[in-house]
């Protein structure tokens, strides 16, 4: 017997929006996955520097996305401004929840803070709804250590205690949250890969002797370690390895700094910063590359690794987050440490023939990380006793 479609409310702390089109893209993909079988309403409320409010509503199949933006507080005194911003956020989010007429079967909070505040209100209005959380934030990790402050901890502890399940995207995140005394029922959930976009290019074969290395990220150095990647490129050049490094990502301040560092010892034929690219173009870059490099200090479940392998592109990554579990044998290399010389050695000796066929790699990713697979996993959790 087919599962009756559920009516699900997604409350989001992060979500793609005009100010940041990649912010929380993995949350949107979870919503799109669930919309294959269920009615999903996404609500995202955020303050902006605009002088006026703006509201947008988009319906695509079973997915309704409501985005509401309102002006930030004008108070220049930090404590007063922060207090008024807090009140305005709470009021505006509750106002949008009040405008939602239906009763929801499931309320799903995505990234706990600050949307935990309106989530408590939504639960009062829907007392029979099942409540779930998905957390993506790295602030609980010791190397990040952003989980601090009375308000943040108060609302996080309160909301986690109410959840039937807290989905996390890595075992490390679970341990970090438990270590912060956030006790609950935790469960690993996979991120989504659009396997219709990230797939091997038919009949492609790179006959060039130049090793084409690709990196895609937000370029935030304290997490993604772009400085380390540039040092790797410098050592490859010193060893006279024939290579090119392409870096995709847009973060103006970070990118300018990285470019300045790179071009002290390298040139534009060695390293190319190509800025933001949409998913279909990233897939093209992946299909034209030999190896994907991720040298991060910390991660959860890196979607870019999954997307690369879905294109049949082998990966080399540091041992971060779920890397050990998502990079299966024959699909890449998980380094024992973030030692630059070890990575340089693996790249200088890289041989595509030592890895799985591209179509096999794609099928492996599709079985676990496609929209259909993640929809099935979340539905099973929603409906289990």
3-state class (DSSP) for residue 27: helix
Q: Tell me the two tokens of residue 149.
A: 């402050």
* pLDDT recorded at residue 83: 78
Q: Tell me the two tokens of residue 100.
A: 């939602």
Domains defined along the chain, listed by start? 7-192+370-383 (3.40.50.2000), 211-368 (3.40.50.2000)
* pLDDT recorded at residue 202: 73
| Per-residue pLDDT tens digits of the chain, which is 385 residues long | 467 899 999 999 999 998 888 899 999 999 999 999 999 999 999 998 888 999 999 999 999 999 999 988 776 666 676 777 888 899 999 999 999 977 899 999 999 999 999 999 999 999 999 999 999 999 999 989 999 999 999 999 999 999 999 999 999 999 999 999 999 999 999 999 999 999 999 755 656 789 999 999 999 999 999 999 999 999 999 999 999 999 999 988 898 999 999 999 888 889 999 999 999 999 999 999 999 999 999 999 999 999 999 999 999 999 998 999 999 999 999 998 889 999 999 999 999 999 999 999 999 999 999 999 999 999 999 999 7
For tokens 């308000």, the residue is 151
Angle at the Cα of 111 from the Cα atoms of 130 and 338, rounded to 5 degrees: 135
In the 8-state DSSP scheme, what is residue 200?
Answer: P
* pLDDT recorded at residue 78: 66
Pairing of strands 63-71, 54-60: antiparallel
Pairing of strands 186-188, 332-334: unpaired
Beta bridge partners of 11: 43, 109
Q: Tell me the two tokens of residue 142.
A: 């010791």
Q: Could you give phi then psi for residue 182, rounded to 5 degrees?
A: -100, 85
pTM: 0.90
Are the CB atoms for 356 and 313 separated by under 8 Å?
A: no
């Amino acid at each position: 017997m087919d599962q009756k479609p559920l009516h699900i409310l997604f409350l989001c702390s992060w979500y793609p929006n005009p100010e940041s089109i990649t912010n929380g893209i993995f949350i949107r993909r979870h919503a799109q996955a669930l919309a294959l079988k269920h009615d999903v309403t996404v609500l995202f409320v955020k303050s902006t520097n605009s002088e006026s409010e703006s509201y947008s509503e988009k319906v695509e199949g079973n997915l309704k996305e409501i985005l509401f933006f309102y002006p930030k507080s004008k108070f220049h005194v930090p404590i007063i401004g922060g207090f008024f911003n807090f009140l305005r956020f709470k009021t505006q989010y509750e106002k949008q929840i009040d405008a939602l007429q239906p009763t929801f079967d499931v309320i799903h909070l995505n990234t706990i803070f600050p949307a935990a505040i309106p989530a408590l209100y939504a639960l009062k209005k829907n007392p029979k709804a099942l409540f779930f959380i998905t957390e993506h934030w790295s602030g609980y990790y010791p190397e990040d250590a952003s989980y601090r402050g009375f308000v943040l901890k108060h609302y996080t502890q309160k909301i986690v205690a109410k959840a039937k399940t807290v989905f996390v995207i890595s075992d490390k995140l679970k341990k970090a949250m438990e270590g912060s005394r956030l006790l609950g029922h935790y469960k690993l959930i996979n991120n989504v890969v659009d396997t219709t976009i990230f797939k091997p290019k038919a009949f492609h074969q790179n006959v060039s002797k130049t090793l084409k290395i690709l990196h895609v990220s937000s370029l935030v150095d304290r997490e993604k370690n772009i400085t380390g990647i540039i040092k790797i490129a410098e050592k490859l050049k010193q060893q006279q390895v024939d290579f090119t490094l392409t870096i995709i990502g847009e973060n103006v301040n970070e990118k300018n700094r990285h470019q300045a560092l790179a071009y002290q010892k390298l040139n534009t034929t060695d390293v190319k910063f190509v800025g933001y690219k949409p998913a279909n173009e990233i897939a093209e870059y992946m299909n034209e590359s030999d190896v994907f490099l991720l040298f991060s200090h910390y991660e959860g479940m890196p979607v870019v690794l999954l997307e690369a392998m879905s294109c049949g592109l082998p990966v080399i990554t540091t041992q971060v987050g779920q890397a050990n579990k998502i990079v299966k044998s024959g699909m890449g290399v998980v380094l024992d440490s973030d030692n630059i010389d070890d990575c340089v050695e693996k790249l200088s000796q890289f041989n595509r023939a030592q890895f799985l066929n591209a179509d096999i790699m794609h099928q492996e990713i599709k079985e676990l990380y496609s929209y259909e697979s993640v929809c099935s996993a979340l539905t099973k959790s929603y409906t289990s006793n």
